[in-house]
Amino acid sequence: MSNRTDQELSSHVAKLAGQLLLELRNSYGDPASWDKEKATELRKQGDRLSHELIVRELAEHRPHDAVLSEEGADNAVRLDADRLWIVDPLDGTWEYGQGRVDFAVHIALWEPKIKKLSACTVDLPAQKLARSMGDVVTGDPDFPTDRPVRVVASRTRPPVFLGPALEILGSKMKAAGVNEYGCELIDVGSVGAKVNELVSGRAELYVHESGFYEWDVAAPYGVARHYGFIPSHTDGEEIEFNHMPPWVQNLMVAHPLIVDLARDALAEAARG
């Protein structure tokens, strides 16, 4: 057992895994020299080694807790656990294998009996940055009035109605007097890196509608909320974790000033 609090342990283990991933990638040399086979090998090795490190550390310091990891074998025993660590050893695997900086390690603790996320960490090792529920946050997040509202979404699986929804959102924001510059999309990799764009003040909305897994969502969800953003399903319903299978149908993370406008715009665009 460890003397660290849950949040301290979450941040510590995420940092260890992030350092491992950086050192491993550096050992492969210049990304410009990688062929497809070498990049694939790196991605697989990074996923595996980071998973092994995280599971080993959690087993040592919280031996009675259950773990749900992208790289581990799932087990229905976790459904009855009092405490469940939900981890993504390497979120943004594709970006990692491209030599990019927008990959992350996600570690979150879900307490099923009280339906609460705690001890959430998103470590961004290539950016030398970590975001966690242990960070000191003062005041509400800033909101831009001199530039477009920036929106992050999946490059490969953007919401079907995102284009029309952002046009509608731009009109709604202008009518409400909160922003008259409309919306613009920005390109960012992992879910954790996307949420970091919001908490860093470089974006205000994240939308994903094609579904992904709990390990993609849990830690960024907790961090976003801690920093004053509103995470939920796109219809506003709270996301809960520890399902079988561990699937999350959709996600929206929004600045509180535009959360209702964004939900309305998405619904209106979906209706056509």
Average pLDDT by stretches of 10, the chain with 272 residues = 89 98 96 93 98 98 96 93 97 96 98 95 98 95 97 84 95 98 93 97 95 97 98 97 96 98 96 86
Q: Which distant-in-sequence residues (6+ apart) come within 8 Å of 251 by Cβ?
A: 206, 207, 208, 212, 217, 221, 231, 232, 233, 234, 239
Given a contact cutoff of 8 angstroms between Cβ atoms, the answer to whether 203 and 93 are in contact is no
Helix runs in the chain, H state only: 6-27, 36-61, 93-97, 162-176, 191-199, 214-226, 259-271
Q: Map out the domains of the chain with their CATH numbers.
A: 6-132 (3.30.540.10), 149-271 (3.40.190.80)
Given a contact cutoff of 8 angstroms between Cβ atoms, the answer to whether 231 and 218 are in contact is no
Which tokens go with 228?
A: 């004053």
Radius of gyration of the chain, Cα coordinates, nearest whole angstrom: 19
Q: What's the pLDDT score for residue 1?
A: 57
Under DSSP, the state recorded for 177 is: T
Dist. CA 269–CA 151, nearest whole Å: 16
Sign (positive or negative) of CA dihedral 111, 70, 55, 87: negative
Read off the pTM.
0.96
